[in-house]
Structure 1
């Protein structure tokens, strides 16, 4: 299940990163699955951003048709060539945000010929888009996740978390009385996590369940964001500390108790958990914060108290891959994310072997 929308960019691969990847696999990492890495392909352009994957291994996201094309195209990739979800007008840019196990895709688009650049949320069931209702025609609406019942999370720009259930828009702030800013993900039971305004108007993780919303306590820290929730009600996300609010840490929360995820071996890092599956396996991105370090961001996998660099789990020859960012994981432990291959930006799917 996907987490929040993230536009972070990655620096080029360095020599020290390649040397670090060549280090022996630790005994701790050996307990994790080994992965075969596959390229998700492209639509002709060099921009590919994968957003989500379902349990059948079908991935979705956004790509461009050619390098001069400024309009993104929502794509679906089911093991064969990447396919764009056709738009009626060339001026429309679109992105797929998530896909459920029935193959229904949630996304949003914008007509760049519109002076207001208004975004519109939709679902796609294999043939046509179904656009969601808005409170006002000028509202910009975005989707972030969809569950198997077809309930969709998202937000109205700039700061209103919403659900679409049976085609109807539900404003979560109005329903709960809490300033719910953005709904990032939901599970099969319809529990929603995201961000709300908490104490001192700081952004804090929020859980919506049975019509009520609760702020999560993450180690008593002032600011945090929940990015995903699984069937067991486990929540992953990131938080900052009062002593250093520039550095992010990862957490896993369940039944009122938060667990620190730690970091990869090496220099000080910022940790950005993106998603988790029903087994409690968390994926995300580790970014070295020390300016003197040449190491690029690396995708990580966490389970049972251990965090491992996904690059160390590649089975066989790495073939030029550097896995920078893991964005989603399904219940088959397949992972999708962003990478470079021989220095060229690509999107990948990692499948256990």
Structure 2
């Protein structure tokens, strides 16, 4: 069934010719999709790839059994375990490969890679288990694993079948949470013993302490392909704030209006950041941060949906966001936010109208137009079949003499 994805975009031909591109953006910026469950009462989402596939973990029976899942094509797929009871999905790349942690038959929690329909155990650093938190588009994996005799827990980089110990910042603990396509790894590492964790960036064979916002602790959760890092750090007042580390500087992202604390979990190639912040109501609110501004995602969706968005955990390059929120029944559920297309419309030098927007992966579109907002049939300009990647759509429409205005809309199919 077709659905209207975009409020009407009106192009005044005079405006386009004199002032350049016009951009139309709906007041409601995202659609909300409930990801469902595997039959249980708890669900958590950790990542989303550029095809819109989501990874996380969900109970299959009440609150007792937890399994990793992938959400794709409108349904959840249970990934199973390594022979034990529970599993947890943490990361997914654009090929659909999933990493996480799963219990073995001996109740050991081991890192896994799920690829080609099967789950494989990645082993450890000589100790009894670990986890896999992130995977890039080259199949490189980052996580944490126990060393010999379970003496220390260290971050690792798994590449080409080999697990490499990334060390620590002087203590006995480190854990990786994110990796980009250049193989740069971020996470947290202790600077002494198991205390005072600091965010780190591992690049070029060396682990760098990213510091804090004046306090004693910081964690790095995400990194994009330009090397920008996000996470949480304590201020000199021991308050946790979301941060962006870029160009060698850690910047405090602040909070929503009236808020006290915040955390950033994910960043995409456009520099859009997601996480949560409290606000004047002392409740957690999912946010998106871009162009120097933190916005409550609850103000960007249709309030009639019954959703209250509490935490955003990941964002892909198309701006799709996943997280956790309360539904109309006041039960915590996982959500997927998909941005409505923003039409950029301009007149070309060849006396035509150019329409441009970003299309989501695996989504078909119909682009339509008419000369009056109140009457006349919508005419189809183009039918776009779904393709597997995020892409920019550019089409042209003839600019006819004597036409004072034209209206355009985009529908999903």
Partners of 1:130 and 1:105 in 2: CA distance: 11
**Structure in which a larger fraction of residues adopt strand:** 2
CA distance in 2, matches of 1:168, 1:133: 10
TM-score with structure 1 setting the length = 0.81
Once the 2 structures are TM-superposed, how far is the Cα of residue 51 of structure 1 from its aligned partner? 1.1
- Matched with 1:194 is 187
What is the number of residues matched between the two proteins?
Answer: 309
Aligned pairs for 1:254-293 within 5 A: 254-266=246-258, 268-287=259-278
Task: Identify the residue that residue 84 of structure 1 maps to in structure 2.
Answer: 78
- Mapped to 1, the partners of 2:191 and 2:27 lie a distance apart of 37
How many Å separate the matches in 1 of 2:86 and 2:192?
A: 37
Could you say which structure has the larger radius of gyration?
2
2:118 pairs with 1:134: no
The answer to whether 1:118 aligns with 2:101 is: no
2:290 equivalent in structure 1 = 303
- Aligned partner of 1:19 in structure 2 is none
CA distance in 1, matches of 2:202, 2:26: 34
Q: Deviations over 1:129-156 (max 9, x none)?
A: 12113233x5121111000011111002
Partner of 1:147: 136
Deviation at 1:311, TM superposition (A): 0.6
Match of 2:67 in 1: 73
- Which of 333, 336, 346 is the aligned partner of 1:346? 333
- 1:100 matches 2:93: yes
Please report the RMSD computed on the Cα atoms of aligned residues, expressed in angstroms: 2.3
SS at match of 1:188: coil
Partner of 2:31: 36
- Kept after mapping to 2: 8 A contact 1:276/1:328: yes
1:327 maps to 2:313: yes
Residue 54 of structure 1, aligned match among 49, 64, 72? 49
User: TM-score, normalised on structure 2?
Assistant: 0.70
For residues 7-49 of structure 1, the C-alpha deviation after alignment (integer angstroms, 9 at most, x for no partner) is: xxxxxxxxxxxxxxxxxxxxxxx89981101001111111111
**8 Å Cα contact 2:59/2:65 also seen in 1:** yes
Q: Give the gaps of 5 or more residues in structure 1.
A: 1-29
Shift of 1:58: 0.1
Is the 8 Å Cα contact of residues 170 and 191 (structure 2) preserved in structure 1?
no
Please list every run of 5 or more consecutive structure 2 residues that lacks an aligned counterpart in the other structure: 1-24, 147-151, 341-413
Q: Are the equivalent residues in 2 in contact too, given 1:162–1:183 (CA < 8 A)?
A: yes
Question: SS of the residue aligned with 1:162?
Answer: strand
Distance 1:88 1:164, change over 3 A: closer
Counterpart in 2 of 1:336? 322
Q: Distance in 2 between matches of 1:171 and 1:303?
A: 35
How far apart, CA to CA, are the structure 2 residues paired with 1:47 and 1:344? 9
2:203 matched residue in structure 1:
209
Deviations 1:89-146 (A, max 9, x none): 4x421111110001101111014x63xx42111111131112113233x512111100
**CA separation in 1, counterparts of 2:266 and 2:184?**
15
Asked if structure 1 preserves the Cα contact closer than 8 Å seen for 2:213 and 2:233, the reply is no
Within 1, Cα distance between the matches of 2:138 and 2:292? 32
Distance 2:30 2:41 in 1: 25
